Amino acid sequence: MEYTCKYLEESRRLTVEANKIIRELRIREIWEESGAEVNQVGSLRMGLLGKNRDMDFHVYTDILNVERSFSVVGKIAEHPAVVKTAFINLQHTEEKCVEWHLWYNDNSEKLWQIDIIQILKDSKYDGYFEKVADDILATSTPEQRELIIKMKHETPDEIKIPGMEYYIAVIKHGIKNYSDFTDWRNEHKFDGIIEW
């Protein structure tokens, strides 16, 4: 699939950049120092980064303590390249988590978004998305993964689509191009967490 080679190269380049930022911010180390288990999830874990500069982590702790969570994230946010943070408290929902969203300025025209979801151990989604990532990699072909990256690049910037929609459409429903994907999305409406 020669036509997607440039997208694969861009995905690899962004992956290298993302891993450099992760090391620079010491995301894993700072959370582990607080006693948390840290796992990478999402498109970065699967090698499916598109044009959006984003990375996702699931962090597992025995309790959800908002004050402690602020303290941990504060250590990451002290870095001068972190220009914005957002917090969402979902600990009283079935998701049993708190969400952190950080924006990192790498001095390019686009910011990196870093999503850190702190999840209560042994709750409903403990380990779920790690398993989903493994399943996607195990059941997808190299051609499907290339197609997913290509379709992410073809998506207009103003349209925000969760990665899971691409994965389900291409791998489970055999969608082959962005036009068909748009039609498929009109027939499949998702709300909340999209399960594999």
- Tens digit of each residue's pLDDT (9 = 90 or more) over 160-180: 999 999 999 999 999 999 999
- Tens digit of each residue's pLDDT (9 = 90 or more) over 49-70: 999 999 999 999 999 999 999 9
Burial of 146 (0-12, 13-18, 19+ CB in 10 A): buried
Quote the CATH superfamily of domain 2-124.
Answer: Beta Polymerase, domain 2 (3.30.460.10)
- Residues 165, 111: Cα–Cα separation, whole Å: 23
pTM for the complete prediction? 0.91
Show Cβ contacts of residue 135 under 8 Å, excluding neighbours closer than 6 positions.
Answer: 196
- Tens digit of each residue's pLDDT (9 = 90 or more) over 134-155: 999 999 999 999 999 999 999 9
Q: What is the pLDDT of residue 144?
A: 95
| Position 173, amino acid | H
Phi and psi at residue 98, in whole multiples of 5°?
A: -125, 140
Answer yes or no: is pLDDT of 130 > 50. yes
Q: What is the pLDDT of residue 4?
A: 55
- CB-CB neighbours of 128 under 10 Å: 16
Answer positive or negative: Cα dihedral of 165, 171, 173, 175: positive
Q: Where are the domains of the chain?
A: 2-124, 132-187
- Tens digit of each residue's pLDDT (9 = 90 or more) over 95-117: 999 999 999 998 887 899 999 99
| Position 74, amino acid | G
**Regarding predicted confidence, which is higher, 192 or 177?**
177
